[in-house]
Structure 1
Amino acid sequence: MTQRSRPEDRRPANDGPRAAARNRAALIAAAREIYAQSGLDAPLSAIARRAGVGQGVLYRHFPDRAALAVAVLEENVGQIEQAAARTDARLPEVLGVLTWHQTESAAFVGVLHEDGEGAHPGAGRFARTLSRRVEAALRGHLPPDHALAARPEDLMLAVAMVSGAVTGPTREQRERRALAAWRLLGVEVGPVRPYQE
């Protein structure tokens, strides 16, 4: 006797490129969460599980651990640059996007302030490049009379200080500490959220 498959038992239709884009986005979002909990050396299997895909799918998109970390960090910096590129952008709103990424991604915080090569070959050069891109995005909206414009190093020193305050087991706690640090520095920050077009 042949058993007919029920509609709910059938595999979902292959969406081709749309599924690939969704899987890639899910992997980046899962990696950001896992990295916040466990750092850049988190097991890739945990990231695939969190994204709801198999490890084969992960490796089709990201051939190694470094490629996935780069994709997450590039997205973080890209969102800050997009927020800064808006014609109506103001520094507080751009700082809100930066602060969201600081509270969401411990890996982002670490790479922004990586001085040497550390445990990851090439990380120092990559970190300096990302840090310069973040600085350029912020500096483009920094009024000359702003407290962070007094000396060239003050802007990124403030970012580092806030990054150092971003601790705590929950995103809400990390956000409260980040906002308190900006407030103590006398800096206005807009809504803490990812960049939204």
Structure 2
Amino acid sequence: MMQHPVPDERRPANDGPKAAARNRAALVNAAREIYAAYGLDAPLSAIARRAGVGQGVLYRHFPDRVALAGAVLEENVRQVEQAAAVDNATLADVLGVMTWHLTESAAFIGLLHAHESGGPSDIRAHALALSERVERGLRGHLPDGHRLGAANDLMLAVAMVSGAVTGPTRADRECRALAAWRLLGVEVGPVRPFDS
């Protein structure tokens, strides 16, 4: 039996492109949360549920797991670059944003090491390009003579800190990341996402 809307009832508005942009952003945020809790192999259905959309919506935006992880990584890198582009930003400020992403996103940690591991060459190349963007953002704020100024020292320190980012909660991971930076003798600003 077909039901017709009662005259006083309103159907939800179809927001068209606005809904698509909102759904995409919700999927990226949900993926970041799910990846942080369960790793990169978490079920895509869990991400769709967390975002409040169906799996069909997920697949319309991201045809596969790699595309979704790539979107999370791109957002992480973009925030580090935005923090680095702020007038008067210091290395500590940029490291604070990067450290937030390390503690929040397992995908971001994977990015920093993916180009060194096996796997498809296109994924390794993409990971390398993103990792180089992070390095440029950080290196642009290294004062002359900084202890991490030598050729590979900066990204080696980032890799060492990312290896320390473990723990069941984001607070645990942040505590360990800050301890690792402290052991390296590096000051880190407030650990938070970049707010434009």
Contact 1:117 1:123 in 2 (8 A): no
Match of 1:162 in 2: 161
Q: CA RMSD in A?
A: 1.9
* Alignment TM-score, normalising by the size of structure 1: 0.91
Measure the CA separation in 2 of the matches of 1:194 and 1:88: 17
* Alignment TM-score, normalising by the size of structure 2: 0.91
Equivalent AA in structure 2 for residue 109 of structure 1: I
Match of 1:91 in 2: 91
Give the drift of 1:6. Answer: 7.4
**1:112 aligned onto 2:77:** no
Change (3 A) 1:165 1:61: same
- Per-residue displacement from partner, 1:54-95 (whole Å, max 9, x unpaired)? 111111111222111111101100110111111221111100
Give the drift of 1:16. Answer: 1.9
**1:38 aligned onto 2:38:** yes
Q: Determine helix, strand or coil for the equivalent of 2:124.
A: helix
Measure the CA separation in 1 of the matches of 2:15 and 2:154: 45
Measure the CA separation in 1 of the matches of 2:29 and 2:47: 9
Match of 2:55 in 1: 55
Equivalent AA in structure 2 for residue 155 of structure 1: L
Q: Percent identity?
A: 72
Q: How does 1:166-185 map to 2 (within 5 A)?
A: 166-185=165-184
Give the drift of 1:41. Answer: 2.1
Change (3 A) 1:95 1:5: farther
Equivalent AA in structure 2 for residue 101 of structure 1: H
Gaps of at least 5 residues in structure 1 are none
Give the drift of 1:112. Answer: 0.7
Match of 2:19 in 1: 19
Give the drift of 1:188. Answer: 0.7
Gaps of at least 5 residues in structure 2 are none
**1:146 aligned onto 2:152:** no
Measure the CA separation in 1 of the matches of 2:65 and 2:14: 27
Q: How does 1:122-133 map to 2 (within 5 A)?
A: 122-133=122-133
Measure the CA separation in 2 of the matches of 1:122 and 1:56: 26
Change (3 A) 1:11 1:109: farther
